[in-house]
């Protein structure tokens, strides 16, 4: 008692058999018949549909070059799929590298750190000069440059207009430029 098992979906198996046994008289007829299926395969290998079209075009070019050497035209889909996969792997391996190893670093050398005592002296001189400013100008300079607020934020905190902040900060910076304690820093 031997029972033959029939395929579950006879239509699909017949279509697969027809596709597997079909031979194509020319490369152009093969491309016309199989391009949609092969394009779906290429799209599964790339994220971009345009890249998938380019990938398929490259694989089909390789297939065209080898068309006369392919003995079994029933296995063309497998050949093209392998060409798709190999081409995509080659593209991935040849991807552009933005960083190159070199003997010298392209970044400019770091500025030498100054003497900590000089830095502290400059810091103290700056605060003494700021403390000489009128209270309103001092508040605006501190908010703008030490707290790093914008002109609009400074105006909002102090309850004044943006124009007032601009003019008061400008006058305060002018006074700081003229401060004798800070003159050695500018020279």
How would you write the pLDDT of the chain (187 residues) with one tens digit per residue?
Answer: 444 444 444 444 444 444 444 567 788 989 999 999 999 989 988 888 999 999 999 999 999 998 888 888 888 888 899 999 999 888 888 776 666 677 777 777 777 777 888 888 888 988 999 999 999 999 999 999 888 899 999 999 999 999 999 999 999 999 998 988 887 665 5
Q: How far apart are CA 131 and CA 143, in angstroms?
A: 14
Question: Which pLDDT score is estimated for 187?
Answer: 56
CA neighbor of 170 nearest in space, from 145, 146, 141, 142: 141
Q: How far apart are CA 5 and CA 95, in angstroms?
A: 50
**What domains sit in the chain, N to C, each tagged with a CATH number?**
14-93 (1.10.1740), 116-186 (1.10.10.10)
Query: Which DSSP string corresponds to the chain?
Result: ---PPPPS-HHHHHHHHHHHH---SSHHHHHHHHHHHHHHHHHHH-SSHHHHHHHHHHHHHHHHHTGGG-S-GGGHHHHHHHHHHHHHHHHHHT--------SS-SSPPPPPPPPHHHHHHHHHHHHHHHHHS-HHHHHHHIIIIIS---HHHHHHHHTS-HHHHHHHHHHHHHHHHH-GGGHHHH-
Calculated CA dihedral for residues 169, 171, 176, 178, nearest 10 degrees = 160
């Amino acid at each position: 008692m031997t029972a033959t098992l029939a395929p579950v979906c006879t239509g699909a198996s017949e279509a697969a058999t027809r596709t597997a046994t079909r031979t194509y008289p020319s490369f152009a007829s093969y491309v016309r018949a199989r391009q949609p299926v092969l394009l779906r395969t290429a799209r599964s290998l790339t994220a971009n549909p345009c890249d998938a079209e380019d990938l398929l075009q490259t694989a089909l070019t390789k297939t065209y070059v080898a068309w006369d050497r392919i003995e079994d035209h029933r296995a063309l889909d497998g050949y093209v799929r392998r060409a798709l996969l190999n081409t995509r792997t080659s593209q991935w391996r040849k991807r552009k590298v933005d960083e190159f190893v070199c003997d010298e670093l392209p970044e400019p050398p770091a500025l030498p750190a100054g003497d900590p005592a000089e830095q502290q002296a400059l810091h103290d001189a700056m605060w003494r000069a700021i403390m000489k400013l009128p209270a309103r100008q001092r508040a605006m300079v501190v908010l703008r440059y030490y707290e790093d607020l914008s002109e609009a934020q400074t105006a909002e905190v102090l309850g004044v207009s943006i124009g007032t902040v601009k003019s008061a900060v400008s006058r305060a910076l002018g006074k700081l430029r003229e401060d004798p304690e800070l003159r050695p820093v500018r020279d």
